[in-house]
Structure 1
Amino acid sequence: MASVTSDGSPSAAGVRTDTRSGPVLRRLLAYAKPHRKTLAVALTLLGLATAADVINPVLTKVFIDDYLTPRRFPAGPLAALGGGYLALLIATVVLNYLQLVLFQTVALRIVQQLRVDVFHHVQGLGLSFFDRTPAGALISRITNDTEAVKDLFVSVLSTFVQNTVLLAGIFVSMFALDARLAAFCLLLAPIIGLAMAVYGRLSGPVFRRTREWLSQLNTRLGESLQGMHVIQALGQEERMRRAFAEINQAHFLARLKTIRLNGWLLRPLVDLIYTLALMLVLTWFGLQSLTGPVEVGVLYVFVNYLDRFFEPVNQMMMRLNLYQQAIVSAKRVFDLLDDTSFAPGKSGDGEPRITEGHIRFEDVRFSYDGETDVLDGISFEVRPGQTVALVGHTGSGKSSIVNLLMRFYPLKHGRITIDGWPLEAFSDEELRRKVGLVLQDPFLFTGDVMENIRLHRPEVSEADAVAAARFVQAHPFIERLPEGYRTTVGERGATFSAGQRQLLSFARTMAGDPVILVLDEATASIDTETEEAIQSALAKMRRGRTTIAIAHRLSTIQDADRILVLHRGRIVEEGTHQELLALGGLYHKMYLLQQGGHRLEAAAVTEGD
């Protein structure tokens, strides 16, 4: 899997392998700053729990050396010793529970804030970002990658902090019992640190590949589910299965590499080091026994501490794979947070308002990729209350004009003004409230009908929503729904017909009472009977409003004040419907093609005779 797949998916060889964890970890830890007080309490409780945990073996050593070995069993001291041991056990359990709850609560709050930050940032990105980023890959970053970051805080960092404190307490106790033997045991720390470093260096690139392939799986899955009707209609099931299986195989191989790394460098390696350390301690005490008596209690404590020492080491080593996954995922999340492809916003001073809807395009040039112009010197004017229609073949630039007017993309050449003000002078709130957009493919949100019309806009009351529905002739069909305006809308409005979805989008737009109306073939999804019913509503909607309408069916814009005919990013013809027909140019040909071609042309010739 070292090449680009047939469908354009990036290969494993092309995945970046920059896995430096330091900067990423510091940035993650910065999210902990608002929780400093809670963390301080948790660390204090952790320190107390660790102290109680490491003192217990010392009590056992006292019992063995002072009472069991000399066979002395005074009731009072033994009861006190046993009571102290039991109290320390209970204290350890309670303190560990409290510090664990505090640590993990903070961890969950941090990840909650990170997800909010990511979602908020994505909401502010421009459409150019979404044009080049597959939806599945984006969802993978917001869900899977932030989930891996959650594991870092909940399972990894809390474990590392707890076990580091425990290891420090164990070494302090070891040095208190036998400094020389403790110094020998301390030599194990660099060996374990080296093992961790080697694991991190080898596993980082592997985990990055794994996350990238998982992102590709989500992308392929999302694309397949959204386009299932096309896949089945064109018999593409087998091709899609092969493509999915190819990406899945790459993900499997990447996961297999992580399993092999874990099998060599995690628990087996730590168990080997533990066995060598145990042999060292037993040899030490064996040699000491040749020259004098050995305190069995001290031997027990050292063996106990070694076991307690390597158990947290094992836990930390076993969580290194989670750490590496989290660091890779966090890097992907921060790459998303650092993306500056923001939607164009307001610039300059002042708070102009859109009151008349006077639109001007002056020598506007635009390119999506920075190389090929899709608009080439577009200039036109729409006076207040006028309706201007944009027509032309696919790719002529009609939608690009709307995209620029809606400020979905930045304008780099030319000028667009509304009421004499540059487009960039308006705030987002003003532009979105005063310019209403109806798309050819309406989008409905999960909720009910009323919520889809109001969209939680405070300026739109329920009465306004009902009035807007009546205005666009949507009220009759809404009343026939099982629960009227409270009827639940399924995902993307799948339970409604295309015409009903379009009528709801009409009502949604008109509920905001826009000054400027932008219609992107607004009647394309509506059947003939419904279209006839709403043509009068459209006429009312346009009355008193500046309207720009993209039209594919020329019959819907014959009453427009002016029609602009676009071809390859330029305005090649301009006039009313009758003027353009009389011109006999591109518009005339388009009209003949839509109305039956030669039959109409013959009729026109007969009329002329």
Structure 2
Amino acid sequence: MVFRRLIGYMKPHSKTLTLAFSLLILATAADVAGPYLIKVFIDDYLTPRNFDRNALLLLGAGYLMLYVASAFLNYYQLLSFHKIAQWVVKQLRLDVFGKVQRLGLAFFDRTPGGSLVSRITNDTEAVKDLYISVLSTFVQNIVFMIGVFVAMFLLDVRLAAMCLVLLPILFALMQGYRYLSSKVYHLQRSKLSVINAKLNESIQGMSIIQAMRQQKRLRGEFGTVNHEYYEAGVKSIKLNGLMVRPAVDLLYMLTLIVVLSFFSVKSFESVVEIGVIFAFLSYLDRFFEPVNQMMFRLSQMQQALVAAERVFELLDEDKWAPGQDARFAGTSPQIGEGRIEFRNVTFSYDGRNDVLKNISFVAEPGQTVALVGHTGSGKSSIINLMMRFYEIEQGEITLDGAPLGAYTDEELRRKMGLVLQDPFLFVGDVKQNIRLHNQDITDEEVVEAARFVQADGFIQKLPHGYDEPVGERGATFSSGQRQLLSFARTMALNPKILVLDEATASVDTETEEAIQSALENMRQGRTTVAIAHRLSTIQDADLILVLHRGEIVERGNHQELLAMEGLYHKMYLLQQGGVEQAG
């Protein structure tokens, strides 16, 4: 099944494949004809001492031309196969990367990033080896072996028929090797994925690792996984050392003994031509050399098939990012006012434990709704559902009265702006990070958005201004600067609904003032849903929802919640240090 799918990628190149096969057959014919010409020379000219100059020159020229033709034909057929292989792997990588972009966050919650990197890079590279090194070798050698058998039948039908017994033996040897090596290569690939996951995690969390002095522990964990990968590699080497070359060489020696015995017995009955013996032994040697090459490539083939299986598992993954519900296909409601309503929404990430239970609230157009509560209370889950990162299980979410599932992805992403606690910047420059390659946003609008969120001041002080290079994740910028750039990115789209996930949690006090001022500007005329741990940042919210274990336990504005003297009141007193009195 996996092999059939891999071959399916070659269908668009059927014409080039046909040409490559035609060249391969011609090249094989030229290769196979060489020993036969030598047989003719030995039996018809050398043994009877018939040295006809013209005939010998013609024979020699024909032999030379065959080898020159074989060289050119093999070059062009290999070039054709390799071009097709490179295109196929390019397309496969593009398909895998494109699939990853369309998968939902539920998939990434359970799949380590390093493992995905391994599939897109290492596994597709192994598949490339299958097309370039394995398939071309197998096709070329199988065609060559067929040509060798044809020539052997022309020399001696009985002996060639006896040699046909080799085919089922070789097939059984290959199948046995594939069966035994499959488990080993599966283990190798899985361990390599774990290694990549460990590397990715270590690099991403290097500051924490060094701050918490976790280097020794992580080195030990990595050493354990690395040793397991080493042991799997040793098993592979042992298997290859036993079943690849030695087994084929033993079979070759046994076959050689049989062939020589046949000719020796035959010599008692009739004259055996030396040229026939030479040609037959030459073909036998040429027959087993492709077998050795195929057995050697068989290990690569098995690794490639295992890698391809892992790649196709990813391509077959059905955890799609939620999109427009099929029931509303053809409709295209627009977000105009920005009214948000949750009606009895219940949600679970694992299908067993509910993280949200009967959540109901309304955010009227232009209002600010704040979500507060202890860690794990369900605040981020509400935002994840509202942004349609996950499918709703029970209940309903509506925007301007229309179900969330009725909206297209384009409308949702254009009208809903999201600012995360840890802003993500892409490699490029400041202008590109604000525009995000959206050509509808002009340079003037980029600058206007930066000014609106008070990011223009620090951008103008950069050596290259808006063309200042941005490294990976914006490491050269402070957390406050990264946050202001993410604000500018959001405001460049002029969204109708603003979603803030702890937008001020990781910035210093001085920068927080600028950010609070920017947030106040951003919220004007927009429906805003904000997660906040610091209650001082949301005291002016129109509605505050207090969550506890997935439920809304209190709701109201700041003064109303303090008057209740419930959970919000306790949280407020804790953050005030228990010194100030509520109210």
> With structure 2 as the length reference, what TM-score do the two structures score?
0.98
For 1:591 and 1:451, locate their aligned partners in 2 and report how far apart those are by CA, in whole Å.
40
Look up the SS of the partner of 1:379 in the other structure: strand
For 1:431 and 1:379, locate their aligned partners in 2 and report how far apart those are by CA, in whole Å.
21
1:379 aligns with 2:357: no
Q: What residue in structure 1 maps to residue 102 of structure 2?
A: 124
Q: What residue in structure 2 maps to residue 369 of structure 1?
A: 350
Match among 535, 543, 555 for residue 524 of structure 2: 543
1:89 CA displacement: 0.5
Match among 237, 251, 263 for residue 285 of structure 1: 263
Query: Which structure 2 residues correspond to residues 368-407 of structure 1 after superposition, within 5 A?
Result: 368-407=349-388
Look up the SS of the partner of 2:503 in the other structure: coil
Q: What residue in structure 1 maps to residue 93 of structure 2?
A: 115
Look up the SS of the partner of 1:374 in the other structure: strand
1:580 aligns with 2:558: no
Q: What residue in structure 2 maps to residue 269 of structure 1?
A: 247
1:177 CA displacement: 1.1
1:211-248 Cα shifts (integer Å, max 9, x gaps): 11111111112112211222222222222122111111
Q: What residue in structure 1 maps to residue 497 of structure 2?
A: 516
For structure 2, the residue ranges without an aligned partner over 5 or more in a row are none
1:454 CA displacement: 0.7
1:173 CA displacement: 0.7
1:544-567 Cα shifts (integer Å, max 9, x gaps): 111001111111111111111111
1:74 CA displacement: 1.9
Q: What residue in structure 2 maps to residue 73 of structure 1?
A: 51
1:205 aligns with 2:186: no
Match among 12, 17, 23 for residue 39 of structure 1: 17
Q: Which amino acid aligns with 1:493?
A: G
1:466-515 Cα shifts (integer Å, max 9, x gaps): 11111111111111212111121111111111111111101111111101
Q: What residue in structure 1 maps to residue 432 of structure 2?
A: 451
Q: What residue in structure 1 maps to residue 575 of structure 2?
A: 594
For 2:494 and 2:61, locate their aligned partners in 1 and report how far apart those are by CA, in whole Å.
78
Q: Which amino acid aligns with 2:343?
A: E
Q: What residue in structure 2 maps to residue 17 of structure 1?
A: none
For 1:534 and 1:223, locate their aligned partners in 2 and report how far apart those are by CA, in whole Å.
31
1:535 CA displacement: 2.1
1:237 aligns with 2:229: no
Look up the SS of the partner of 2:552 in the other structure: strand
For the aligned residue pairs, the C-alpha RMSD in angstroms reads 1.2
Q: What residue in structure 2 maps to residue 56 of structure 1?
A: 34
1:485 aligns with 2:463: no
For 1:482 and 1:99, locate their aligned partners in 2 and report how far apart those are by CA, in whole Å.
54
The total of aligned residue pairs comes to 580
Aligned-pair identity in percent equals 63
Q: What residue in structure 1 maps to residue 402 of structure 2?
A: 421
Match among 295, 309, 321 for residue 331 of structure 1: 309
1:502-538 Cα shifts (integer Å, max 9, x gaps): 1110111111110100011112222212221232221
1:291 CA displacement: 2.7
Assess if the C-alpha contact under 8 Å between 1:444 and 1:501 holds in 2: yes
For structure 1, the residue ranges without an aligned partner over 5 or more in a row are 1-22
For 2:574 and 2:144, locate their aligned partners in 1 and report how far apart those are by CA, in whole Å.
82
Q: What residue in structure 2 maps to residue 10 of structure 1?
A: none
Q: What residue in structure 1 maps to residue 542 of structure 2?
A: 561
1:87 CA displacement: 0.8
Q: What residue in structure 2 maps to residue 343 of structure 1?
A: 321
1:165 aligns with 2:143: yes
1:118-151 Cα shifts (integer Å, max 9, x gaps): 1111111111110011111111111111111111
For 1:273 and 1:286, locate their aligned partners in 2 and report how far apart those are by CA, in whole Å.
20
Which deviates more from structure 2 when the two are superposed, residues 529-538 or residues 419-428?
Answer: 529-538
Q: Which amino acid aligns with 1:115?
A: R
Assess if the C-alpha contact under 8 Å between 1:502 and 1:525 holds in 2: no
Look up the SS of the partner of 1:375 in the other structure: strand
1:435-454 Cα shifts (integer Å, max 9, x gaps): 00000000111111111111
For 1:534 and 1:280, locate their aligned partners in 2 and report how far apart those are by CA, in whole Å.
88
Which deviates more from structure 2 when the two are superposed, residues 403-412 or residues 480-489?
Answer: 480-489
1:530 aligns with 2:511: yes
Q: Which amino acid aligns with 1:433?
A: R
1:371 CA displacement: 1.1
Which deviates more from structure 2 when the two are superposed, residues 577-586 or residues 268-277?
Answer: 577-586
Q: What residue in structure 1 maps to residue 119 of structure 2?
A: 141
Q: What residue in structure 1 maps to residue 475 of structure 2?
A: 494
Which deviates more from structure 2 when the two are superposed, residues 92-101 or residues 480-489?
Answer: 480-489
For 1:551 and 1:218, locate their aligned partners in 2 and report how far apart those are by CA, in whole Å.
35
Look up the SS of the partner of 2:580 in the other structure: helix
Q: Which amino acid aligns with 1:532?
A: E
For 1:190 and 1:537, locate their aligned partners in 2 and report how far apart those are by CA, in whole Å.
77
For 2:41 and 2:444, locate their aligned partners in 1 and report how far apart those are by CA, in whole Å.
82
For 2:66 and 2:447, locate their aligned partners in 1 and report how far apart those are by CA, in whole Å.
69
Q: Which amino acid aligns with 1:261?
A: L
1:232-280 Cα shifts (integer Å, max 9, x gaps): 2222222212211111111111111111110110001111111111122
Q: What residue in structure 2 maps to residue 410 of structure 1?
A: 391
1:553-597 Cα shifts (integer Å, max 9, x gaps): 111111111111111111111111122222222111111111221
> With structure 1 as the length reference, what TM-score do the two structures score?
0.94
Look up the SS of the partner of 1:564 in the other structure: strand
Q: What residue in structure 1 maps to residue 60 of structure 2?
A: 82
Q: What residue in structure 2 maps to residue 14 of structure 1?
A: none
Match among 427, 434, 448 for residue 467 of structure 1: 448
For 2:461 and 2:282, locate their aligned partners in 1 and report how far apart those are by CA, in whole Å.
76
